[in-house]
């Protein structure tokens, strides 16, 4: 029984630390407002993706999903998502990403290139598709649509892939230290 409680405490603590890292990384935009937005998207997106993947791989799918849903809420609070209506689209895209990395790891192991590419493509497809549908249903200024669709396109493939690669690097280090 103590072992089960220890695992639960470890999962909650580990997920909390990864969420704290994700939120700290998202706050880089606030601490360094003059950094170029494109550069911060790649840095922040990759590191947040890494925390989502690590949480899912290390503590379970549900823990990765927690980070996948809290981070877009914080992005909205920070002004990075202009409308609360955007939170579910980003949350669903991040959830798809987390689910793919989790299940691919379960079925094929840590085949890095396959996991990174498939997960990143799913994330990009869900984000771009979700915003495309939203823009069909609701009227938004064209410049806003273009900016959002650009950031939800190929940059999501890059950041999603980098997030998996970074998580894989850390997992290997953790597994090597546990031997």
pLDDT tens-digit map of 88-132? 999 999 999 999 999 998 787 657 788 999 999 999 999 999 999
pLDDT over 70 percentage in the chain? 97
For 162, other C-beta atoms within 10 Å of its C-beta total 19
Span 36-51, average pLDDT: 90
Decide: 22 and 132 in contact? Cβ < 8 Å: no
Torsional sign, CA 66, 68, 72, 78: positive
First to last CA, the chain: 24
Residue 57: pLDDT band (50, 70, 90) is very high
- With a cut of 80, say whether residue 165 has pLDDT above it: yes
- Report the pLDDT value the prediction gives residue 179, as an integer from 0 to 100: 62
Span 39-66, average pLDDT: 95
Q: Work out the mean pLDDT of the chain and round it to a whole number.
A: 92
SS (H, E, C) the chain: CHHHHHHHHHHHHHHHHHHHHHHHHHCHHHHCCCCCHHHHHHHHHHHHHHHHHHHHHHHCHHHHHHHHHHHHHHHHHCCCCCCHHHHHHHHHHHHHHHHHHHHHHHHHCCCHHHHHHHHHHHHHHHHHHHHHHHHHHCCCCHHHHHHHHHHCCHHHHHHHHHHHHHHHHHHHHHHHHCC
Give me the domains of the chain, ranges plus CATH numbers.
2-28+38-177 (1.10.1760.20)
Of the ranges 3-17, 107-121, 148-162, which is most confident? Answer: 148-162
């Amino acid at each position: 029984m103590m072992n089960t409680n220890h695992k639960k405490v470890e999962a909650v603590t580990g997920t909390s630390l990864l969420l704290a890292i994700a939120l700290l990384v998202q706050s880089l935009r606030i601490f360094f407002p003059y950094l170029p937005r494109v550069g911060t998207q790649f840095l922040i997106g990759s590191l947040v993706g890494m925390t989502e993947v690590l949480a899912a791989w290390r503590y379970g799918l549900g823990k990765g999903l927690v980070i996948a849903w809290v981070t877009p809420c914080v992005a909205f609070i920070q002004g990075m998502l202009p409308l609360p209506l955007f939170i579910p689209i980003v949350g669903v895209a991040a959830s798809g990403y987390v689910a793919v990395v989790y299940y691919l790891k379960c079925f094929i192991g840590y085949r890095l290139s396959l996991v990174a590419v498939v997960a990143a493509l799913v994330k990009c497809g869900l984000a771009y598709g979700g915003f495309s549908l939203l823009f069909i249903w609701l009227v938004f200024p064209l410049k806003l649509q273009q900016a959002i669709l650009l950031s939800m396109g190929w940059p999501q493939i890059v950041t999603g892939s980098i997030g998996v690669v970074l998580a894989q690097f850390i997992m290997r280090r953790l597994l090597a230290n546990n031997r």
